[in-house]
Copies of this chain bind each other. A is one copy, B any other.
Amino acid sequence: MTNRTQFEREREREGETTLSTLLRRGEMFDTNCPGREILKHLTSRWGVLVLIALLEDDHRFSDLRRKIGGVSEKMLSQTLQTLEADGFVKRFSHPVVPPRVDYSLTPIGREAAMKVREFADWIEINIGRIMNGKRVAEA
């Protein structure tokens, strides 16, 4: 019994490939490409914020909720569940009452979060140039 997809088996046969090489070969347009889903989760509205917050420190649910202003309990919960299912976030529920749950990054989650932050930082560092280019482009 295997959970490996057709996609994965093909990758193994062909050796390590990247999104860009897949694109060059025209294979990555498969909607089932798992990387697209991961990218979506990692760059989702609240996913970015959760990852960057957890990169600084572990947080419990209500800490994240306070830190990430504007997020509803529903969306925070949903985002955390998705990232946990992807293996990026680890959830630890302390067996106490009242409930206390801590969220932290897994090793790969930390790597992913650093990539996300790197990308987000690039945008922030260049936001001036970008906004400037927008005005020129519109003129």
- Of all chain B residues, the one with the shortest Cβ separation from A121 is B18
- Of all chain B residues, the one with the shortest Cβ separation from A53 is B23
The smallest C-beta distance from A1 to any residue of chain B, in angstroms, reads 12
Scan A27-38; emit 1 where CB is below 8 A from any B CB, else 0: 011010011101
Scan A11-44; emit 1 where CB is below 8 A from any B CB, else 0: 1000011111011101011010011101110110
CA distance in complex: A73, B41 (Å)? 26
Number of copies: 2
Q: Is the CB of B22 within 8 A of A124?
A: yes
Q: Which of A38, A49, A55, A125 has the most CB of B within 10 A?
A: A38
Chain B residues within 8 Å of A137, by CB: 84-87
Q: Indicate whether A75 reaches chain B with its CB closer than 8 angstroms.
A: no
Chain B residues within 8 Å of A121, by CB: 18-20
Q: Is the CB of A67 within 8 A of B26?
A: yes
Q: Which of A34, A49, A127 has the most CB of B within 10 A?
A: A127
Q: Is the CB of B35 within 8 A of A87?
A: no
